[in-house]
A and B are shown apart, each in its own frame.
Chain A
Amino acid sequence: MRTLIASLALLGLLAGLSCKTRKPKPEVLVDDTQAQLGSIVAANNPQTAVQLLRGFYDLENGAWRWTMPKFAISFRPPVGAKEKGGLLKADLVLPEVIFSKTGPIEITVSCNGKAIGKQKIAQAGDAKLSLAVPGELLGTEAVSLEFTLDKWLPPSAVDPRDLGMIFSSAGLSLP
């Protein structure tokens, strides 16, 4: 029993030293009260993460996120978009692992509930989505762009999630 107690005392000391944090504690709160909605939203930008309204999974590798079959992003329309209209661009990836199961995927986009167009992603790899957004839909302080995929990878033994595409960034600019 003396052996056990002596051993545990030594190990306790070592464990205590290992537990001691040498790095400063990370900041847990930031006051972003002056922040504005952005016109460009990146998957890994913490300042615009709140604009990823729904349909996104956690950030992976600090760079990208899987989407669900439906996902939505809010944007601040750029100045003048009400008159000139807007251009939605999104950087997506259709991974081979999805494409081999689904084939080409069609993305339907709506703005504040009104359909603005479709685009077909015909091959695996990087996919640039580009669609014009009518100016009459861009007269508000914020707009919501909803993306709907016609095909996706359903849950499987390997991954229990509905997987759509990989999202990197999207932006709303003047045409």
Chain B
Amino acid sequence: MNLVRGWWWLLLAPLFSLVIFRESLGTWFFKDDFAWLGLGLSIRDFPTLLDALFAPKAQGTIRPLSDRLPFLLGYGLFGLDARPFRIFIFAVHSANLILLAWLVFRWTTSRVAAVTAALIWTAHSSIAQPLSWNSSMNQVLWPTCMLAAFQAREVGRNAREWVFFLLGFGVLELNVVYPALVLARFPERWRTTIPLFVASGVYTVFNRWVTPPNENPLYAMDFRPASILETLWQYLQMSMGSFRPDFRPELAEFLLGCTIVAVAGFLLGLALERDRLMFFGLAWFLICLGPVLLLRQHISDYYLAVPSAGLGIAFGLSFARRPLLLALPVLAYLTGSLVVSREITHYNRHESDLARNLVLGVKQAVALHPDKIILLAGITNDQFWGAVVDSPFRLIPGAKVYLVPGSEKNIDAHPELGDPSLSILPAAAARQALATNQAIVYAAGGSPLRNVTNLYRGIAALEWGDSLAAIVDVGQPLLASQMGTGWENIDLGFRWMGPSAEITLGGPGNEIFVECFRAENEPRQELVKLDIYSGDAWVGSFSVPRRDRFVGKLLLPPALATLSRLPLRLTVTPAVVTPDDGRSLGLAFGTIGRRVTVP
């Protein structure tokens, strides 16, 4: 009881946080969460475990302790139950608030400064995203490492400081800034920061060495000073948590007012006090923000989640010293920021509810109709970009789930994020599956999902027409009707062709592409020739090397590019004779298809 009596005030900010973010405790999974939850599906042995934990993923990041391990363990232990994730993230965030308050109390001996610092931090709207979206939990775990390292330094536990500092690299690359924070707080102890800087330098070199070059323009680094300053200005405008570009235009004036009052009050407090700890708080803000100032094309509010702890330090002390002067600015800050926080939390909850209804509905549908294909009709733009694009259905054992043909017309194009057509069953295959009762159609645009298979037959007859599939995965049975003579039975997801085989592709499409396979130990020569004919006309050929997977493409003559039905004959020379049964075989095929390209 003495413990609680002495330190009860440390709980104020976590309790405040629990109240204002209570809605996010019920948030389920959405967006990237499904990609991370599926990480474990690729683990078969120790090397694949290492790959899942440490291979660069998602813009080349390596975050075993934030993006990887929590999802691997969480999904492994609790499946699709998100509550353990929510509790874990809240517990860690609470620990962060307690650590920050403890540090500020140690530096100032003021409980008011300590509690206000933690309150200001947790009220910042940039915290809402990490607290309500599992995939951004790195923004909650990283400050734990830094604050715990700081706390260890304060109490003279050097080994513990190093442990937390090094763990931080497993959470987020931005951890490299920790030595600069220590230097800013303890400039007189600059010698002790040298090993920390060396560790950060070594990590930076190692990270740049092992991660592949970034190809995503959103994450391109811009080192020009003008660009950095422009990005900094954007973040400074968002620094009070109230202002966000394009957020609720009807509230723009109110939020701008909150920002101005908060900034004015805080700057006045800073000017009057000119306390070293306040300047350290501002340094914390700028140092933690520093690396992301290079990402001009990826300005994101949650990048302020950790820098805003510095604002808490600076203005918590300012408020403790001049409570009357700072009362209105703090109130303006809290009001504006909490309005935005609530909106973000509410939006994320809504997105996750959409995903939950869809994924759990499909899970139940798969249980009701094992071995059937589940076709989802009416998938909305939000459902697709909030869930389907990250393949949540692979988390359901035995699920064969596709969107109905034409679904892409309800979905906005975002080629940088994904391709809806990859989730859609081609019309010819869907037609075949529905006609042979291999598929069940569910209306998925709302909640609950509805089995509308019978109703949908009429719509399918109207909408799916009699067009042929432009892309045929010959390893799947549904499009076998487009395959003529010369094909063997399906074998482990592939299909062997004989020396010659026929197939008809839908269209239009001016490019043909093939995906085929050769074993490295097969007895034929290094290159075999795959010729493609349309009728008697030679269309082109590929030289297929002796390696596991070959992908090739060629342009069609203009006269063939517009055809909606393109019969093709494939011939392979030389063929190979199987020693077991004497069959003469050409190549093992995966996919052959047509598409429209710009020559």
Contacts and interface: CB of A to CB of B under 8 A. Distances in A.
Interface of A: 2-4, 6-8, 10-12, 14-16, 18-19, 21, 26-37, 46-47, 49-59, 74, 76, 112, 140-144, 157-158, 160-161
B4 interface: yes
Question: At the interface, is chain A mostly helix, strand, loop or mixed?
Answer: mixed
B462 A143 contact: yes
Contacts of B208: none
A26 B448 contact: yes
Nearest to A161: B412
Given A14-B15, A46-B448, A50-B455, 18 more contacts: A6-B3, A7-B11, A7-B14, A8-B98, A10-B11, A18-B25, A19-B83, A26-B448, A30-B449, A32-B452, A35-B454, A37-B458, A50-B443, A50-B459, A53-B406, A157-B246, A161-B381, A161-B412
A21 B450 CA distance: 24
A160 B245 CA distance: 13
19 contacts: A4-B98, A7-B94, A7-B98, A11-B18, A11-B91, A12-B87, A15-B86, A15-B91, A18-B18, A21-B26, A27-B448, A30-B451, A32-B451, A33-B454, A37-B455, A51-B459, A59-B446, A143-B462, A157-B246
Interface stretch (B190-198, B293-301, B360-368, B579-587): B360-368
Nearest to B446: A46
Contacts of B454: 33-35
B443 A33 contact: no
A57 B448 CA distance: 18
Residue in A31, A36, A57, A58 whose Cβ sees the most chain B Cβ within 10 Å: A58
Contacts of B381: 57-58, 161
B94 A32 contact: no
A8 B144 CA distance: 13
Contacts of A55: 409-410
B451 A29 contact: yes
B462 A142 contact: yes
A60 B94 CA distance: 35
A8 B445 contact: no
Contact of A36 (B18, B412, B448, B455): B455
Nearest to A35: B455
A15 B87 contact: yes
B380 interface: yes
B373 interface: no
A11 B98 CA distance: 11
A53 B383 CA distance: 16
Nearest to B6: A3
Contact of B4 (A6, A11, A52, A59): A6
B91 A12 contact: yes
Given A29-B364, A36-B455, A37-B459, A58 B246 contact: no
Contact of B380 (A29, A46, A58): A58
Contacts of B383: 58
A11 B451 contact: no
A57 B94 CA distance: 38
Contacts of B412: 160-161
Interface string B59-100: 000000000000000000000000100110011001100110
Contacts of A28: 357, 360-361, 363-364, 447-449
B377 interface: yes
B451 A56 contact: no
B461 A49 contact: no
Contacts of B455: 32, 35-37, 50
Interface in B306-320: none
Contacts of A161: 381, 412
B450 A46 contact: yes
B18 A158 contact: no
Residue in A2, A3, A47 whose Cβ sees the most chain B Cβ within 10 Å: A3
A11 B26 contact: no
A14 B450 CA distance: 37
The 5 closest A-B pairs by CB, nearest first: A142-B458, A54-B409, A50-B443, A28-B361, A32-B450
B14 A29 contact: no
A55 to B, nearest CB: 6
Contacts of A74: 458-459, 462-463
A59 B383 CA distance: 12
Residue in A2, A27, A34 whose Cβ sees the most chain B Cβ within 10 Å: A27
Contacts of A11: 11, 14-15, 18, 90-91, 94
Contacts of A18: 18, 22, 25
Contacts of B7: 3, 7
Interface in B193-249: 245-246, 249
B95 A8 contact: yes
A74 B463 CA distance: 9
A145 B367 CA distance: 35
B248 to A, nearest CB: 10
B541 interface: no
A37 to B, nearest CB: 6
Nearest to A57: B381
A3 B3 contact: yes
Contacts of A33: 451-454
A64 to B, nearest CB: 14
A53 B406 CA distance: 8
B173 interface: no
A158 B10 contact: no
B567 interface: no
A29 B446 contact: no
A130 B458 CA distance: 25
B290 interface: no
B540 interface: no
Given A11-B90, A28-B364, A50 B18 contact: no
B87 A16 contact: yes
B396 to A, nearest CB: 13
B508 interface: no
Contacts of B90: 11, 15
A167 to B, nearest CB: 13
B414 to A, nearest CB: 9
Residue in A11, A34, A37, A142 whose Cβ sees the most chain B Cβ within 10 Å: A11
Nearest to A16: B87
Contacts of B450: 29-32, 35, 46-47, 50
Contacts of B542: none
B372 to A, nearest CB: 13
B255 to A, nearest CB: 15
Contacts of B410: 54-57
A122 to B, nearest CB: 27
Contacts of A10: 11
Nearest to A76: B458
Contacts of A32: 443, 450-452, 455
A49 B459 contact: no
B343 interface: no
